Structure formats: C-alpha cells, structure tokens
A and B are shown apart, each in its own frame.
Chain A
C-alpha cells in the first residue's frame, strides 16, 4: 500500500494501482491437464497467447490445489506446498515476454513420480500494476491407472432437489456417473435422468445437487459403474 497524508481534504480516494487504463487480454490453454500412469520425465505443454497491442511479461509459479465439499478448487499456496509442487514439477522458465499477438509454449516436466496422485497448479500471471489477473492451470496427475472407487456416500430427497454426496476412495481422481429413476405419485417410473458428480479428487467427497420436478415422489439412484448400484 502506498500512502502520503495530504491533510487538506478529509476524504479518501482509493484506487487500484494506476498505470493507465489499457485493457489486457491473455489466453491460456489447456487449463486442465489430466493424466494417469505418469512417469518421471514426462512433459506437459501449455500455450500462452498475447491478444494485446503491447508486450506483456508473463510470470509462472507453481502451487498445489485441493477441493472442498462443494467441488470448488482451493489453492494451497503456503511455502511447504509451493516447495512440494516445485520438487515434483519443473517449469522451463520463470517468466517470459510475449510480443503483441505473440505466443509461447511453456513446458512443464515431471521430475519426481513417487506419488499416487499430485494435484498441482501452474499460475500464469501477466505482470501488471493494478488489477492483476492470473490463470490457474490445473494438473491432475496420477502414477496409477487403477479402477475408480467412487460411491454415493449419502443422499437425501428434498422438496425440489436431490442432494448427493459422492466419495472417491481410490488413488486417482475421477467422476461418479449415475442414473436417477424418478417415480411419480402413483409410483410409476416417469423419467430417467443421467447425472455426473464432476471431478472428485482422490480421497475427497463432494456434494451434488440435482433439481427435481415438483411431481417427483420417489427417487432411485443407479450407478453406471459396475457393481455400484444403490
């Protein structure tokens, strides 16, 4: 924070660091990298493009991420987690300049594979003075390709929705996919609906809420994965 009392006007003007009012547009892809059976030495590539009319300096940094019970991504940026990410992955550069309209492919090398799963994030940050934007490239890596161990931990039919909690007991991330059988007041099967939990990280569970039509009287849940019907 920068401040110097003027003692003249009893008012506060707050502004995001001023350095012009130029709009900045940068794009990054892919922003999710999912890989199983990864091995040391494996390379992942991320393309950064500058859509601006001016040069942009891009900074790169690594951290870890997790997800909460709603499935939301949580960044783990403490020193220990940053160090852990940096010991497993090596970026080919810490920063670079992109010419107007230019692009560059960033290479990430897996330098360590003594894990079952690694959830790392590469932050791609265009260097700017004021409103800082950054991209989070999520890497969901697993050294194994074991069978998914997804299950519905609990579920509850509410007035206008079905609330599910899906658990992943496996060693790698995955999706739970299932089918809802919706019965009406006469207990007749009236509709079948496919649903998906979204990605659940290894050892995590997440809630899923599915809106239901008002006529639904009873619900059955079937897993599309073999042996997991409920």
Chain B
C-alpha cells in the first residue's frame, strides 16, 4: 500500500514537472509597442516655368510626396514675392480647379488629409504664373515654402 502511494506520488510529481516544463517551453511574451505620429515629405528642389510674355500664362505642377500616419495639412507660401521691389506678376496656386493668388501669409492647399499609408501620396500642386507689363524682361527667382503639419 505504501509502495503504491510512493509510486503515485512519483507519478504525480513527474506529471507536474512535465506540465511545468511544457508551460515554459510554450511560454508567450507580450510585446508592447507605441507608434508615434510621423511625417515625411519629398519634393524636387526646383520648379521652372516656361518663358512667357505679359498676359500669357504658364502652369506647372510641383510634384510632392507626403507620408503620414495622421491626418495632415499642407500650407504653401511665397517668400519675398510681391513685396516692395518684388515681382508684380501674378503667381497663383490651384485648388480643385480654382486659382488663388499666392501670398506671403500662407495658403492651406490640402486641409484635413487622411493618413497616407506606407506608399505615401504624390500630389501635383499646380502653380500658374502670369507675367505683368510692370516687370522688365529678365530671369527671376523666388522661393516657395511648403509646410506640412498634422491636422488637429
């Protein structure tokens, strides 16, 4: 009888040890990760318009790519354009078929855009240049600033 009890205890201990080892062998680990809101933008350095005479227009698309995992918006502003001593010609930005004169205050071109996914989104932002008779024939250059900002 005692022998049977000892055997049963040994057997039980073996089973418990096996279960314990089994649990360890198939143990799972919980990973915690946190994804931060991030933005990436890619754009060409330059955009060149064709030579045009006063009254004519030339439209060029600035192709930019944005990657974002949050809603975002894009603001465009001209730097040093149209100020004192600046060009009197008109530079406009296209927005769903409408043209808005570009200002130094910044125009929101794309507002409340959804997250882009891993491929990003490439957009052709249209710019329209219309020379003025008030500007002498010449080559001119100016800067345009694109600000990408998360939407609230």
Contact = CB atoms under 8 A, between A and B. Distances in A.
Interface of A: 1-32, 51, 67, 70-73, 75, 121, 123, 128-136, 138, 198-199, 201
A17 B43 contact: no
Contact of B49 (A8, A15, A131): A15
B144 A12 contact: no
B45 A20 contact: yes
A32 B140 contact: no
A29 B40 CA distance: 9
B147 interface: yes
B37 A30 contact: yes
Contacts of A131: 43-47, 62, 143-144, 146
Contact of B129 (A7, A14, A32, A121): A14
Contacts of A9: 51, 137
B124 to A, nearest CB: 13
Contact of A30 (B38, B51, B64, B87): B38
A66 to B, nearest CB: 10
Given A5-B138, A17-B46, A71-B151, 4 more contacts: A10-B53, A23-B45, A131-B62, A133-B145
22 contacts: A1-B81, A1-B140, A7-B137, A8-B137, A11-B53, A12-B53, A14-B129, A16-B47, A16-B142, A17-B46, A27-B38, A29-B36, A51-B42, A70-B111, A72-B111, A72-B151, A75-B106, A121-B149, A128-B45, A131-B46, A132-B146, A133-B148
Contacts of A132: 79, 143-146
Interface string B15-50: 000000000000000000000111111111111111
B89 A136 contact: no
B51 to A, nearest CB: 4
Given A131-B146, A134-B145, A21 B44 contact: yes
A12 B137 contact: yes
Contact of B40 (A12, A27, A73): A27
Interface residues of B, number: 58
Contacts of A13: 48-52, 139-140
B108 interface: yes
Contact of A67 (B143, B144, B152): B152
A133 B51 CA distance: 25
Contact of A17 (B49, B54, B111, B141): B141
B39 A2 contact: no
A1 B86 contact: yes
A11 B143 contact: no
B143 A199 contact: no
A25 to B, nearest CB: 4
B75 to A, nearest CB: 8
A73 B151 CA distance: 7
B44 A23 contact: yes
Nearest to A206: B152
B85 interface: yes
A5 B136 contact: yes
Contacts of B42: 23-25, 51
A21 B46 contact: yes
Given A1-B81, A128-B45, A15 B38 contact: no
